[in-house]
Amino acid sequence: MKEKNLWLSYSEQELQELHEINEKYKECLDKGKTERECVELAVVMAEEAGYKNIDTVLAEGKALQCGDKVYAVCMKKTIALFRMGEEPISNGMNILGAHIDSPRIDIKQNPLYESDEFAYLDTHYYGGLKKYQWVTSPMALHGVVVKRDGTVVNICVGEDAADPVFVITDLLVHLSAQQLDKKASVVIEGEKLDLLIGNSPVTGEEAEKDAVKANILKILKDTYDIEEEDFTSAELEIVPAGKARDCGFDRSMILAYGQDDRVCAFTSLFAMLDVEHTTRTSCCLLVDKEEVGSMGATGMQSRFFENIVAELIALNEGESDLKVRRALERSRMLSSDVSAGYDPLYAEAFEKRSAAFLSKGLSINKFTGKGGKGGSNDANAEYLGDLRRIFEQGNTTYQFSELGKVDVGGGGTIAYIMGNYGMEVIDSGVAVLNMHAPYEVSSKADVYEAVKGYRAFLKFA
């Protein structure tokens, strides 16, 4: 635990490793802008590192040995990776858990319409966001369309330099007298977050009503072989277009979409793929739906993770519900989620002694929640003490923080859900500015310390 800016402490060798990690991290941000894309990327990286799909392992029916690596995927939106340790799983695991969904704007199931010769996609925003931040910026469209015959059509428009982009419009300032009198929460209403996608009517045919919409449908048919009805079985997400970029003249920071919580997800994944021999089984769990309460089959509240642990125990130790419960209760977890980085322009929202600062290392939150710690996981002092040992053993710089001043706001993570099993859990992650905005800011030094800290946790917890 140190107070000084980390950039003053690194050797040339450390700076080189820091640079390599952050370049890799930016590439992952560019390739993984949705939960599906993150899982697809994680599978590629895992298989390159020698991990096997659990379905293959279960079909073989052979017990796993120390050092064996497996992964399991749930509905292409959640993934769990395991590296077997010396001890049986029933003795507990060291778990890194993060979420790979981010605030965004989703396309509705009957979205395409025309109004006054503009074509739009109707939308519904996802997660907690300031709606006014999402207008007038270039947007990309990512996702899948599943046709009636089961054919899956992958959609990604707006990321290549040759692609068109899309936009959510706003009222010009010259006519905004009434709009600007509204509260910030309603200055842009949810039903006005529709995506502008076209203005040119179909040509070469007899004039018809909604000719601009007809032209969009023709383009979709020619390009993707999809019909309007196919939107009903689609998952399409609107995200900011463009790549992750270095931020600042000194290139000390990263500006990018989706760093909550992919900055913790990818650093956890890097650590998981780096660490080899461990006493306890290592696990990296990357889940969906945290931004909307962790509900559903791909959220942390589902039984997916518990079921996979049960499968591994049955394979290695014999089928036993008691051993599954013991494994979960004896596990230790870092709920790897971002912290609110201290912003001097908004200092009134923070209590500086308990704030997370950029370039000061991995941020540890003993508790989150709202008001009187409502809805939080509150970690035990004994666990905190041992984490100090672990991070210092791994030469990791860390800081303790809270989510802003008392009663100013609040938030939660997946920590309390895993705490329900009786395991030791604490929130630890990277401090970011502009959390939940289209573009968030992180420190490259903190990204580096996160990888170091997560490696140390898997090795020494």
Note whether 112 and 141 are within 8 A (CB): no
Model pLDDT for residues 23-55, shown as the tens digit of each residue = 999 999 999 999 999 999 999 999 999 999 999
Is the domain of 422 the same as that of 273?
yes
SS3 state of residue 85: coil
Please tell me the predicted confidence (pLDDT) of residue 452. 98
CATH number of the domain bearing residue 141: 2.30.250.10
| Same-domain check for residues 314 and 414 | yes
Tell me, yes or no, whether 250 lies in a domain. no
In a shared domain, residues 315 and 364: yes
Say how far residue 229 (Cα) sits from the centre of its chain. Answer: 30
Residue 252 falls within a domain, yes or no? no
* Domain-embedded: residue 422: yes
Q: Which domain range does residue 89 map to? A: 6-102+257-460
What's the pLDDT at 410? 76
pLDDT digits (tens, 9 = 90+) for 176-196: 999 999 999 999 999 999 999
251 within a domain of the structure (yes/no): no
Q: Are residues 229 and 341 in the same domain?
A: no
Whether residue 416 sits in one domain with residue 359:
yes
The DSSP-derived string for 210-257 is THHHHHHHHHHHHHH---GGGGGGEEEEEEE-S--EEESTT--EEEET
| DSSP assignments along 354-414, one per residue | G-B-TTS-EEEES--EETTTBT-----HHHHHHHHHHHHHTT--EEE--SSSTTT-EE--S
264 and 409 inside one domain: yes
278 in a structural domain: yes
* Residue that is last in its domain, among 174, 206, 240: 240
Q: Domains in the chain: how many in total?
A: 2
Query: Does residue 245 form part of some domain?
Result: no
Q: Choose the final residue of a domain: 192, 207, 240.
A: 240
Whether 150 is covered by a domain: the verdict is yes
- Contact between 79 and 39 under an 8 Å Cβ cutoff? The reply is yes
Q: Would you call 116 helix, strand, or coil by DSSP?
A: coil
- Residues 67 and 109 both lie in one domain: no
Three-state DSSP state, 6: helix
Residues of the chain with pLDDT under 50: none
Domain boundary among 187, 206, 240: 240
Instruction: Give the CATH number, domain containing residue 48.
Output: 3.40.630.10
The answer on 191 and 47 residing in a single domain is: no
Residue 184: per-residue pLDDT: 95
Residue with tokens 């461990």: 278
pLDDT of 369 reads: 78
129 with 79, same domain: the answer is no
1 lies in a domain?
no
Total Cβ atoms within 10 A of residue 67: 13
Would you state the structure tokens that stand for residue 33, as one six-digit string? 């802008």
Same domain, residue pair 197 and 323: no
**What is the per-residue pLDDT for 3?**
72
120 & 229 share domain: yes
**Kind plus residue range of the DSSP H or E element containing 79:** strand 78-83
Residues 441 and 382 reside in one and the same domain? yes
